Amino acid sequence: MALKVIGAGWGRTGTESLKIALEQLGFSRCYHGFNLFNDGAKLKYWKELHETGTTDFEALFAGCQAAVDFPSAYYYRQLLKQYPDAKIILTVRDGAQWYDSAANTIFKKPDPFKFPILKFLGKLSTKLSYIPQIYYHIQTFLFQGAFNGKMGDKEAMIALFNQWNEEVKKTIPADKLLVYEVTQGWEPLCKFLNVPAPSTPFPKTNSQESFQKRIEKAIFSPTGTNV
């Protein structure tokens, strides 16, 4: 199954709301960053993609028609090369608001005291055994890679955020790109994807308050969570 939609926007730009919206529009399933915590066995594909520029995309995105959030957004060029008919959605928001949200969620370092517990539990659960590896990979490709280790420097991070958005706009042909704020709702999204707009309200989810709870649910739920 080929990806039809690829999200190039960074985390904390409404990517989970977009994921839910895309699935409601029929683009099911949509791969989101939370999926990595829920299915750590696929970390090997992300590592291979990072190191070589390619991987077994069909295995990585099995059953998915869309992919948003990190890590997918970081590799939007490689994904578009693999799926040239896909459309690109760049979720954006005010840079200062983005940073404040990210600083309270994805930039927060995990509790180091949890790792020995996770390593112990990993001997009993294959799912939990991947968690330290996932955090290490995120540190490598995201925090030290895309973010240049500057998470504590607000001005530098806002500049990187804006630079990324401008780069996407210059890289993707205008007819394949939607620059989108989730506060705009259904109309521009449905027009871009050529699908009818639902009568239900546009989804709004994954607030700063719920972020950590969703991470923990993805990690510790015995059956995972549909994220």
CATH number at 94 reads 3.40.50.300
Q: What is the pLDDT of residue 173?
A: 96
Q: Is residue 110 part of a domain?
A: yes
Going by their DSSP bridges, the two strands 5-7 and 66-67 should be labelled as parallel
User: Tens of pLDDT along the chain (227 residues)?
Assistant: 799 999 999 999 999 999 999 999 999 899 998 898 888 899 999 999 999 999 999 999 999 999 999 999 999 999 999 999 999 999 999 999 999 999 988 887 665 545 555 554 455 556 667 777 888 888 888 888 889 889 999 999 999 999 999 999 999 999 999 999 999 999 999 999 999 999 999 998 855 555 555 555 555 455 444 44
Q: What is the pLDDT of residue 120?
A: 47
Q: Is residue 227 part of a domain?
A: no
Neighbours of 52 (CB within 10 A): 9
Going by their DSSP bridges, the two strands 5-7 and 30-31 should be labelled as unpaired
**What is the Cα–Cα distance from 218 to 32, expressed in whole angstroms?**
12
**What is the Cα–Cα distance from 221 to 209, expressed in whole angstroms?**
19
Q: Is residue 206 part of a domain?
A: yes
**What is the Cα–Cα distance from 211 to 105, expressed in whole angstroms?**
7
Q: Is residue 186 part of a domain?
A: yes
Q: Is residue 225 part of a domain?
A: no
Q: What is the pLDDT of residue 20?
A: 96
Q: Is residue 93 part of a domain?
A: yes
Domain enclosing residue 47, as ranges: 5-220
Q: What is the pLDDT of residue 57?
A: 98
Domain count, the chain: 1
Write out the E strands in the chain.
5-7, 30-31, 66-67, 87-91, 177-180
Please give the model's pTM, rounded to 2 decimal places: 0.86
Q: What is the pLDDT of residue 124?
A: 53
Q: How many helices (H) and strands (E) does the chain have?
A: 12, 5
Q: Is residue 204 part of a domain?
A: yes
Q: Is residue 119 part of a domain?
A: yes
Residue (of 66, 60, 58) closest to 88 by Cα position: 66
